[in-house]
Structure 1
């Protein structure tokens, strides 16, 4: 994929995200001038980016958004819920188009019709706003047209444009001549100096010293759309020019020849073989587009035959430039590259890269000491001195590798604001659809975690917020009846603790009805009735994590399918984390997600069973204890112990893994206490080992089908550690 196009895809996504955030601010505070400016700036930049490529529907779509914002900025329209909806839909469509461009290399079929439809809907939301027409008295230059110019536009109603670019327009990305060339049905283009030309030595080439006067046969609205990015620099009027009507003369002579000569000059530039080949490819595409626009199929066929080397292409292009091309203006679109698979971009601060390179340098220096130690060993150096040297070198390398590991992890660390960004829009749209008044409060967006953790966290977080909106938050009438404020509150917060990163989703809604959860679980056969009756309120609430359980009476586009909370737990536990839930009837619900800071390095608790080592994510382990065999209660094969005045089921790891029973005569059992989604379980193992940070590698090939194994890790002494997935085992 072309690097320029890759950059467009990345920046387009960022601009659409920024536009969405600014639109949310603008909807909350319609008079927020900063929000209007931020939104307009994002759309304006995106429009300029689309202009680099042959994607007129995308440019039209963004133009429509700019039209709406200009009406708001000039006081001709208000930010109504309907207008906000239309603008959000426009941004959503832009996101889908960028995804399609990224995957397929071009816009979807029918994009132009869709863009026109969105434009129509926006105009309807604005109440049919029209462009402001400048007073015709300001266009005295029209009365001074020459006879030849009058023959071009005489006898018809035309749209006249006075465009006075800002002197610094080049620094804001504007190209005045290109804007004028985009005017539809252009009849006349007059380019004049703003003031008499100075001496050549006093001329500033970085300032625009020109003004533009044009006549067009297109309607005023179509012409005004071209200049929506520079509304303060243009005036437009509709008027009739007297004179006979004749066929319009070309307004830009020799443009194609000029472009071709410039391409030949580019091919003549010095450079490496790679640079010249890159220039050849760009020139070839440009010349091919010119010939296509002029309908010169024979020349295009000849071009493809001689374009294999820069020298041959240069001679051919020079010949084209010397030939007559008819003087017509050529449209030179930038060809959109072929489709490529979707990519994820990760931007890294330069300081972090510098620190990484510095550590690599230190590691190289430390490693260079090893050959000297090897030589001393061959020469019979004393054992004590050799051991001391090895110990010092090992300590130095160990310290550098530790810092290197931390530096690499910091390259992948991103703020949680990345996964918080979609939430305001989700709450806004869902609350409107459900007829609820909801305020979202975010905190801890600056909390950082590995980008893989953010990928895992995104979908569960959306599930939880949807559930709060659909199930937890009451309607305004119900809240008033309960003595609550009409506007509900959803709080999403994040912070770091010793176990990793913690994200909480809490609301002040109706809470979870533990009795209803019990009944649903029994009705669906997910739990026996007598066991459900014995559960405490807190234990009953945790039943919402059972697969297929939902207390919703129907299925909506938000929730109610019985897959949300189970999917949340499965995703979090697969990443080595855990989910906690607490709810109080009538006062709200709080769900806590605890995840490791990174998935590259996993901290595990190691145990020994049947002569092999097994590991469990430390985030699941809540304790280790020795239990006397006499304190274990058994009912048939079901075992349990009493821990902190609560009955805890006891499972034996040997049985779960299908290993032989332990026939050792021991008085106590080693029990690892783990928390599985709020359910405490005791796991009997042969013995405890230490904790360790390991690089976890998932099972591959036929082993990937094995249930109960999260992956493997190699320990420092070369032993293989099997890391278990308890949820699958149970």
Structure 2
């Protein structure tokens, strides 16, 4: 560690850092030792790690760690002499020693430490003939040099930095980049002012001036030209300086950002240990392959997804991979294969867990969905494999009927999804290339960087994390329909509620000045919703800035960032925003996105029909004649709309769920405010008794869909609205 300033660290802190490094080496090498063909190099690494840790523990006076490390070192030396790998039982004991050393480096004087040390030493004595000697008192640090620890395999030194200070440094570096981009603005303004002055002087030359005034004017022109030349030279020097400064600030920012990065391999040792222990508990054989250990990941991101990987590994070993006997019966090798892969792709981090086990049985999922009441049987039968796999991500959903210490409680995949969504990522389930199960998590490479779509809402800039939005579409005024008092648009046959982003965020009414609006489509608990924004400003990679903790929890806001021009952009929390929009809808606070249309006849018609095709056919016909048309999906939806809005005419079907057309008409006629509302019934039923029922209920017209003609319905509409008929 020569050259590093470690004066600010205590000896105990230095020992803890070294113990963590050496314990990682011990654990990882022990796991590799079990399957290695050449054990000599690995035993040498283990012996040196234990020896280094023993020397460091002796310096800080940690007697327990000295005794444990010495016992492990003796076992490694014994194995070196015999040139054989320890058996599985011995590796189990040694791994427990690694855990003990890690705990002793943190809390050496814990009450349980003494009994754990003696128990470990007793287990070691059963593995080798010689007892462990009690080590002498520690030698003062001033007269003894510590044994240097081996460098990590990637050749870099780990320097521990306070996370908050590193975040502050990264924020300052980002601000420096923005400031460097603005430094040339002053010189540019001076040159513009000089050009304006030269123009004024030119105009003065054409005026009636005295000889003295003309002389002074020529002198002023000469001075202005001189200033322009000097400003041009200074501008060139400033441009060169600005470019160099911008490059330097960019390098500082990138280097600061790299300080947050750690190789994915930092979690590999813990994952290998987890797989080994679980496989032994389950009586299964597993060959673990970890690819992409050099892939760099934000250190905060590693802390977040390490637990998610543990969930996936538990699911894979308990549910996915079969026992050796089951695999042999299925024509597979007795040893299963588990692959964990990390790599960067298109600016994102992809981490996948795949196995060659049973795979995903979609029919089992379908039956579980039906049996547990997550969906009606008719609907579940029509679901695709991808739609069915989404149920595995729901809280409490499990295909296992067993409750074990490893899995079967309905937790795991939902926790993985929650983790991915919290950091702006996503998750994908499917079949692995080996024929088993695959779970891929897509995450930002760094939590301090975010790819986002920047928009403008009521003059303010906001950012939607790109991974959390489904898409952005443009819709026109004709695409927006009022159903039950709520605005909707139909996207690929799905009804999507739409809201003004300005109204939801409570920053005004929004600016919709033309016939088209941009909708940002985000997921919600009930499907999808669309937020209408004023303008799209493009996709950006943002350097996130932490909000001051004194602000507390800010609704709908996750963080902030600086744009290239120095302006602040608010990064929205999509989970919060979807809840806010749902509450906004429930409270019936939304207002029309488009300004009220004053053209056309000015009549408002409600069309109620449970058939999307018929409903849209009638709506388009009436809209083409200039009427304002809202639609309702059934009688209950129509009744709610009639009570919350003002309509000049109702066109309704008869056979509809929840409330049929006959009952709807009766409700209208029995309501004091609605009893005079004109009503047209459109039905497939052609019998005289059906026509009589409709007219007796209070309908003004009864038209059949089988004899549907544009002019028949339009003629009835014009008559009931008191408009002149078209010749």
CA distance in 2, matches of 1:531, 1:665: 41
CA distance in 1, matches of 2:35, 2:539: 50
Q: 1:393 to 1:72 in 2, by over 3 A?
A: closer
CA distance in 1, matches of 2:510, 2:185: 50
Larger radius of gyration: 2
Q: Which of the residues 94, 98, 111 maps onto 2:105?
A: 98
Shift in Å, 1:108 = 1.2
1:295-335 alpha-carbon deviations (Å, 9 max, x no partner) = xxxxxxxxxxxxxxxxxxxxxxxxxxxxxxxxxxxxxxxxx
CA distance in 2, matches of 1:435, 1:640: 55
Residue 284 of structure 2: aligned partner:
436
Q: 1:409 to 1:698 in 2, by over 3 A?
A: closer
1:115 to 2:112 alignment: no
Q: 1:532 to 1:107 in 2, by over 3 A?
A: farther
User: Are the aligned partners of 2:432 and 2:438 in contact in 1 as well (CA < 8 Å)?
Assistant: no
Shift in Å, 1:17 = 0.8
User: Are the aligned partners of 1:526 and 1:546 in contact in 2 as well (CA < 8 Å)?
Assistant: no
What's the secondary structure of 2:34's corresponding residue?
helix
Residue 167 of structure 1: aligned partner:
none
Residue 438 of structure 2: aligned partner:
590
CA distance in 2, matches of 1:666, 1:374: 36
Pairing of 1:540-619 with structure 2 (within 5 A)? 540-583=388-431, 587-619=435-467
Shift in Å, 1:31 = 5.6
Shift in Å, 1:388 = 5.2
User: Are the aligned partners of 2:365 and 2:388 in contact in 1 as well (CA < 8 Å)?
Assistant: yes
Pairing of 1:684-703 with structure 2 (within 5 A)? 684-701=532-549
Q: 1:222 to 1:404 in 2, by over 3 A?
A: closer
Pairing of 1:212-251 with structure 2 (within 5 A)? 221=131
Residue 499 of structure 2: aligned partner:
652
CA distance in 2, matches of 1:33, 1:723: 54
Q: Which of the residues 13, 17, 27 maps onto 1:10?
A: 17
Shift in Å, 1:632 = 6.2
CA distance in 2, matches of 1:555, 1:639: 44
1:45 to 2:55 alignment: no
CA distance in 1, matches of 2:345, 2:288: 24
Aligned residues: 511
Shift in Å, 1:519 = 5.3
Residue 81 of structure 1: aligned partner:
88
Q: Which of the residues 310, 313, 320 maps onto 1:465?
A: 313
Residue 450 of structure 1: aligned partner:
298
Q: 1:658 to 1:373 in 2, by over 3 A?
A: closer
What's the secondary structure of 1:15's corresponding residue?
helix
CA distance in 1, matches of 2:84, 2:240: 74
Shift in Å, 1:489 = 1.1
Q: Which of the residues 233, 250, 258 maps onto 1:402?
A: 250
Q: 1:17 to 1:576 in 2, by over 3 A?
A: same
What's the secondary structure of 2:519's corresponding residue?
strand
CA distance in 1, matches of 2:415, 2:92: 30
1:158-200 alpha-carbon deviations (Å, 9 max, x no partner) = xxxxxxxxxxxxxxxxxxxxxxxxxxxxxxxxxxxxxxxxxxx
Shift in Å, 1:565 = 1.8
Q: 1:638 to 1:435 in 2, by over 3 A?
A: farther
Residue 27 of structure 1: aligned partner:
34
Q: Which of the residues 386, 404, 412 maps onto 1:538?
A: 386
User: Are the aligned partners of 1:708 and 1:725 in contact in 2 as well (CA < 8 Å)?
Assistant: yes
Greater mean alpha carbon deviation, residues 591-600 or residues 608-617: 608-617
Q: 1:630 to 1:60 in 2, by over 3 A?
A: same
CA distance in 2, matches of 1:640, 1:508: 43
Q: 1:667 to 1:497 in 2, by over 3 A?
A: same
CA distance in 2, matches of 1:77, 1:385: 76
1:636-677 alpha-carbon deviations (Å, 9 max, x no partner) = 44846444xx74845536375467777957543323356899
User: Are the aligned partners of 1:56 and 1:112 in contact in 2 as well (CA < 8 Å)?
Assistant: no
Shift in Å, 1:78 = 6.3
What's the secondary structure of 1:602's corresponding residue?
strand
User: Are the aligned partners of 1:499 and 1:619 in contact in 2 as well (CA < 8 Å)?
Assistant: no
Shift in Å, 1:559 = 2.8
What's the secondary structure of 1:74's corresponding residue?
helix
TM-score (norm 2): 0.61
Residue 331 of structure 2: aligned partner:
483
CA distance in 1, matches of 2:538, 2:364: 43
Q: 1:526 to 1:704 in 2, by over 3 A?
A: farther
The RMSD of aligned alpha carbons is 4.4
What's the secondary structure of 1:614's corresponding residue?
strand
Greater mean alpha carbon deviation, residues 417-426 or residues 509-518: 509-518
CA distance in 1, matches of 2:288, 2:47: 25
CA distance in 2, matches of 1:585, 1:598: 28
Shift in Å, 1:615 = 0.9
Residue 329 of structure 1: aligned partner:
none
User: Are the aligned partners of 1:460 and 1:568 in contact in 2 as well (CA < 8 Å)?
Assistant: yes
CA distance in 2, matches of 1:120, 1:76: 24
Shift in Å, 1:46 = 1.0
Residue segments in structure 1 that go unaligned for 5+ positions in a row: 101-105, 132-220, 228-254, 264-281, 287-343, 349-355
1:235-276 alpha-carbon deviations (Å, 9 max, x no partner) = xxxxxxxxxxxxxxxxxxxx99xx9xxx9xxxxxxxxxxxxx
CA distance in 2, matches of 1:717, 1:408: 21
TM-score (norm 1): 0.61
Q: 1:650 to 1:502 in 2, by over 3 A?
A: farther
What's the secondary structure of 1:557's corresponding residue?
coil
Residue 67 of structure 2: aligned partner:
60
User: Are the aligned partners of 1:673 and 1:681 in contact in 2 as well (CA < 8 Å)?
Assistant: yes
